[in-house]
Amino acid sequence: MSGNQRGNELEKRAKEWLETQGYKVHRAVRSFYLDPRTHQPRSRTNDLYNAFDLLAVHPERTPRLAQITTDESDRQHKRKIEGLFSFDPAGIMVEVWSWHRGKNFFRIYRWVVAADDKLSWLTVGDFKKGDGL
């Protein structure tokens, strides 16, 4: 399975779980084009803010922006988000969902204001396949 295929599957899994929680979810999808020089098919990401795969809104809960990734690259995505949100994104949850393939669960990290008024990553919890994923 290619990286793009794995990413698509994980994004769909996260989207479906959020929908079971009552969220309406927009998923950024890849767009395909023909490279004019090589005439080979290529793809480009259409991530929200060039960093997020999902936007989830709920009538009674805080909206969520989520980057879906694997545990091998979650640090890279966290750094990208830290550069984007060097301020408190009040009114929206900013998350990285990290898939741990061997153990079949998502670990969710949330970008929050810590007790010392600095932004940091808080581990929210682990969600396994049996939890509706």
Q: For the chain, what are the domain ranges?
A: 3-131
Greater confidence, 113 or 70?
A: 70
What average pLDDT does this structure show over 71-99? 89
Question: Would you say domain 3-131 falls under CATH 3.30.70?
Answer: no
Contact assessment for residue 64 and residue 53, using Cβ atoms and an 8 Å cutoff: no
Query: What is the b/e burial string over 1-14, where b = at least 16 CB atoms within 10 angstroms of the residue's CB?
Result: eeeeeebbebbebb
Q: Would you say the pTM of this structure is higher than 0.95?
A: no
pLDDT band for position 86 (50/70/90)? Answer: confident
Residue 46: C-alpha distances to residues 3, 40, 86 (Å): 16, 19, 22
User: Parallel, antiparallel, or unpaired: how do β-strands 93-100 and 105-113 relate?
Assistant: antiparallel
What pLDDT score does 43 carry?
Answer: 64
Pick from 56, 47, 105: which is nearest to 77 by CA? 47
Greater confidence, 29 or 76?
A: 76
